[in-house]
Amino acid sequence: MGTEEILIVLVVAAAVFFLPVLSLVLALIAWTRSRKIQELSDRVRSLERLLHARGISPRSPTLPVTEAISQLTARRDVAESSVTDAVPLPASADRKAAPSDAALHGTATEEVAVENPLQNANAVSWETFIGQKAFGWLAVVLFIFAATFFLRYAYQNNWIGPVGRVAIAELVGCALVVLGLKYRRQNWLRFSAMLTSAGTVVLYLATYAAFGFYDLLPQTATGFFLTVLVLESMILASLYESAVVALVAVVGGLLTPVLMSSVTDRYQSLFLYLTVLNAAALFVSQRGRLPFTATAVFGGTQLLFWAWYHGNFHPDKRTWALSFSMLIFGMHLLSLLTTNTRTGDNATRLCRQTLSTLTDDLLRTIANAVLGFLAFRTLTLDQLPEWMGVTSLVFATIHAAGTRWILTSGTIVSQRLLTFLAVAIGFVAWTIPVQCSEHWVATGWAVIGLALWWFGLRVSNSGLRQIAAVMGVLAVGRLLSADLPLYIREPFIPVFNSQTLPSLCVAACVLSSVVLSDRFRGLLNRGERPAVGFVAVVGMLLLWLLLSMDCYGWFVSQSLPDGDISLWRWRGQLALSVFWTLFASVILILGFRLRRERLRWLSMVLFGVTVLKLFLIDMANVQQLYRILAFFVLAVVLGLVARGYQRFRQDNQP
């Protein structure tokens, strides 16, 4: 071996042994100092609480010694006087005098600076982060790189055979895991998680290297060992309640099917393995404070399943694929229904854990429902195409039953309850366009929204009203984008036709929600009250638009038999002006009767639009006699409106 090779070996050996040890030592020193700083901060806080309990405020940054001692002495004398009055002290006790005034007041001009520990909180937190986390994880990364480079160099020079290489890696991984357990018992939680994570990665890579690089193990045995490693790391993550160890287990568990892939499609083994992995992840998520573990495994499982489906699915494998999909759906659904929010002494940690758990529930509930239904629909669409609506109702019933279960479980979490209810309503809403005619889709959504709005008012639940608002927006959006008759129709019966009647039902549902809101106005919050007024205006405008299109469309449709379309168009324009005048008058009367200012303003806007239409459109298109009639009718109506406003003002004067 030459001088250069010896030098390289020494450098690599130094990198392997010296750098990790140095990093670990620095991390331990920083961690020890941060603990001492934390202890000093706790002691300062305890002293501040003691001063506050005795009536001395530590607000000022400097406090004279004489003032502090005089306050403490005065309170001590008051406390001791009550005792000495009842029990006389011996004469010897009098000789034990307090410190002299000179000793107490000799430094009267001196001041003791009371430093607020919160001033250095930011610096301490950064030092704690660098000392406890950054240096520790840097040590783990450097150790992995150093070990990799050293072993790579040793392997390239054939210093160690394949069996020895795998054995060394396995021993190092086991040693790191054991050290992690040791430091865990000493309450070094972060350092223990670092060692355990590094050891798990080394064990996983060494086991895979025995199969992938050196052909020392068959594929079946390697898959079994990797599965055992993943389950063990899941157990360690649950025991340690470490998110890092859980992340290592999740990544390793999801990489195993990819690394163990072969030419033969072993889908049965894949499904069984993923089922076990999901069960382990659900166990960890249920037991520990690791809410996103199950969600991460669920997402990876879905990616692997759909990748397998697009590459290897065959109708002969449908039974296994469908059973696996429904099993995963049922496992996660049961987990979501039985998850309880843990309690603890630390309120801040409990609040964060509860928020994380609820976020995980929200994501996983929606993803599980959508992907479970998608899998069932995809795998059975060619065999049961006419049953898709029924299938969505079955999924809706399952989640509605889950909502009932949460209500009767005793530990009601409103976010989880509303999530299950929203998913059930979503399946029902999806069923409507599948089973119903296209013109009744918006009506079905509007009816669902109205029912939820009424129920949300009865039980005083803003979450239900929010879901109802979403359904109402979807219904109106569907109506305006897909159901308006923007073409010349065949002759039809006004209002009672297949297009106008369902659309009018949507407008009726919108206005009915406003009427219900007036009855329960005291239950609405600040944001909902102005929104109800806006919805009332939207409902009236929607009704005006639908009736206007039906009115003008009827006249245009009458031109199809005789072919004189221009004659029927100006007749339609005249009828439209008359209808707008009458509609605005009705709204104005309602505004007076109900004392609704928004309705009166809406009527005035419609009157203004009618006047503009007369001057801009009707004067050019309507014949002379009918034009005069239109102006006369509008003038009479506006005069009556002015008279009505004068009377309304007189009735409302004090």
- Spell 317-349 as b/e; 16+ CB within 10 A means b: beeebeebbeebbebbbebbbebeeeeeeeeee
Task: Tell me the three state secondary structure of residue 113.
Answer: strand
Higher local confidence (pLDDT), 262 or 254: 254
Query: What pLDDT is attached to residue 151?
Result: 62
Residue entry with tokens 């690599």 = 12
Task: Tell me the three state secondary structure of residue 159.
Answer: coil
Distance separating alpha carbons of residues 172 and 164, to the nearest angstrom: 12
Confidence of residue 477 (pLDDT cuts 50, 70, 90): very high
> What's the pLDDT tens digit per position in 369-380?
999 999 999 999
Higher local confidence (pLDDT), 81 or 367: 367
Q: Which segment of 131-135, 202-206, 252-256 scores lowest on mean pLDDT? A: 131-135
- Spell 19-42 as b/e; 16+ CB within 10 A means b: bbeebbebbbebbeebeebeeeee
> What's the pLDDT tens digit per position in 635-654?
777 777 777 766 666 555 54
> What's the pLDDT tens digit per position in 536-559?
889 999 999 999 999 988 888 887
> What's the pLDDT tens digit per position in 20-32?
444 444 445 555 6
Q: Which of 156-170, 311-325, 402-416, 579-593 has the highest mean pLDDT?
A: 311-325
Q: Single out the residue of 358, 376, 340, 249 nearest to residue 300, CA to CA.
A: 249
DSSP readout, 582-596? HHHHHHHHHHHHHT-
Handedness of CA 500, 503, 505, 507 (dihedral sign): negative
- The pLDDT of 34-60, averaged and rounded, is 70
Exposed, middle or buried, 142 (CB in 10 Å: 0-12/13-18/19+)? Answer: middle
Tell me how far apart the 2 most distant CA atoms of the chain are, in Å: 131
> What's the pLDDT tens digit per position in 590-599?
887 877 788 8
Handedness of CA 541, 543, 546, 551 (dihedral sign): negative
The angle, 0 to 180 degrees and rounded to 10, between the axes of the packed helices 500-519 and 528-557 is 160
Structure token digits, residue 480: 């305006």
Residue 424 has pLDDT above 90, yes or no: yes
Spatial contact of 494 and 464, defined as CB atoms under 8 Å apart: no
> What's the pLDDT tens digit per position in 566-585?
778 878 887 888 888 889 88
